[in-house]
Amino acid sequence: MKRRQFILRSLAASASVAVSPLVLSSCQPNLNGRKLTILHTNDMHSHIDPFKEGRNKGMGGMAARASAIEKIRATEDNVLLLDVGDVFQGTPYFNMFGGELELKLMSEMGYDATTVGNHEFDNGLDGLDHAMQFANFPYLSANYDFSKTIIAQKVRSYQVFNRGGVKIGIFGLGVGLQGMVNPALSGNTVYLDPITVAKEMVQELKAQKCDLIICLSHIGYEYGNSAIPSDKRLAQEVSEIDVILGGHTHTFMDEPLLLTNSEGYTTTINQVGWAGINLGRIDVEFTAKGKGMVAYNPILLSNKA
Partner 1 sequence: MKRLVSKTKWPGICLVLLISCSSPSEYDLSYSWSPVKISPDIAASDQVEAIISPYRSQLDSIMNEVIGYAAHDLTSQGQYESTLGTFVTELLLTQSISAYDLDVDVAIMNHRGGLRAPINRGPITLGEVFEVMPFENQMILLEMSGETLLEVVEHIGKSGRSMIWPVSFRVTESGLKNIRLNGKRIIEDQNYILSISDYLANGGGGFEMLRPLKKLDIKPIMLRDMIVQEIKQRAAKGDSIKAELANLVTVSEQ
The Cα 44–Cα 273 span in angstroms is 9
CA torsion, points 121, 126, 131, 135, in degrees to nearest 10? 90
Min dist CB 145 to partner 1, Å, is 20
Min dist CB 217 to partner 1, Å, is 17
Q: Which helix (H) or strand (E) holds 245?
A: strand 243-246
275 Cβ contact list (under 8 Å, min separation 6): 43, 44, 45, 47, 51, 56, 59, 60, 90
CB-nearer residue toward partner 1: 159 or 287: 287
CB-nearer residue toward partner 1: 2 or 21: 21
**97 in helix, strand or coil?**
helix
- Are the CB atoms for 233 and 219 separated by under 8 Å? no
CB-nearer residue toward partner 1: 49 or 156: 49
CB-nearer residue toward partner 1: 94 or 137: 94
CA nearest neighbour of 231 among 195, 265, 192, 255: 195
Min dist CB 100 to partner 1, Å, is 8
Min dist CB 153 to partner 1, Å, is 26
Min dist CB 17 to partner 1, Å, is 15
CB-nearer residue toward partner 1: 1 or 305: 305
